[in-house]
Amino acid sequence: MKINSSDFRVKPDEKVDLKKRATEVKPFYHSKSDYKKMLAAHVKELSELQSLLYADGSHSLLLIFQAMDAAGKDGAIKHVMSGVNPQGCRVRGFKQPSAEELKHDFLWRTNRCLPERGQIGIFNRSYYEDVLVVRVHPELLKSQGLPADLINEKTIWKERYRSIADMEAHLSRNGTRVIKFFLHLSKEEQKKRFLARIDEPDKNWKFSKGDVAERKFWPKYMKAYEACLGETSSKESPWYVVPADDKKNARLIISDVILKALRSLKMEYPETTDERREELMRIRSEL
């Protein structure tokens, strides 16, 4: 079935109301085997386009994943990128910042990990945490080592959105396509997934007590996401609010968005010139 992934895109300056954005939509697949077939086709094309991205060597792609716990970031990354040559793709996770990272501005740690030309970079969490978890827990802001007169909670979030939007525009002007996914999970579905992590022994390792504590801040997180999505979604570097209650459907939407982005890049395999061809033939005859 055709996937209208653009329906999930956030328009620049849109006033996002997450209650009006679906956490579940009618599946784009008819059955589990249909899902597998569709995902396999996406993965195959993704792998081919990644080879072209690498050979062309001028563009890069940065995919950012943000979500509440248990929304399926890790699974989506694993399944969607499963066919891509590991040499052309790098996944980086960003957790609580280290002491060294806190000695720098909030874009420093991620900027060091940006994908080089020809590569796909994936951020599992990102600099967006600095306007999400840090906004929900303002005490974190105070522990970031900023000069006291620069910590003004009335202005700092707007300033940070501006820093992010400027940085992403800069990346876009320099050949990096940035695409951001917010996996939109319902609070009920999160509860179901946490219960499964407690009840099923082979999922116990995924469960963390801290996740339940963060769940209590759900409305504050939703507010922080709503504020950030519209302000930092641009034509070049859009946000997608992906319904995440159905993991399979989410993976199809995400892979569709990535495919469309890659298809839209002007890329070609380096051409072999006549001279090069002749040289190759000479070498061939010497073998």
CB of 12 closer than 8 Å to CB of 235: yes
Verify binding: residue 69, Mg ion, rule CB under 5 A: yes
Contact status, residue 174 vs residue 167, Cβ threshold 8 Å: no
Taking the C-alpha atoms of residue 118 and residue 56, their distance in angstroms, rounded to an integer, is: 7
Tokens of 87: 């040499």
Binding mask 25-64 for Mg ion (x = CB under 5 A): ----------------------------------------
User: Does residue 135 interact with ligand ATP by CB under 6 A?
Assistant: no
Binding flag, residue 143, ligand ATP (CB under 6 A) = no
Which amino acid is present at 48? E
Count of residues touching ligand ATP (by CB under 6 A): 14
Cβ distance 53 to 265 under 8 Å? yes
Q: Is residue 97 a contact point for ligand ATP (CB under 6 A)?
A: yes
d(CA 30, CA 1): 8
The entry of Mg ion, ligand ATP, none near residue 130 (CB within 5 to 8 angstroms by kind) is ligand ATP
Using the rule CB under 6 A, which residue among 59, 125, 247, 251 binds ligand ATP?
A: 125
133 binds ligand ATP (CB under 6 A): yes
Binds ligand ATP (CB under 6 A): choice among 28, 54, 94, 181? 94
CA–CA dist 14, 268 (Å, integer): 35
Residue with tokens 């997450």, as numbered in its chain: 18
Amino acid at 179: I
| Candidates 39-47, 124-132, 155-163, 218-226; binding stretch for ligand ATP (CB under 6 A) | 124-132
Question: What residue ranges bind Mg ion (CB under 5 A)?
Answer: 69
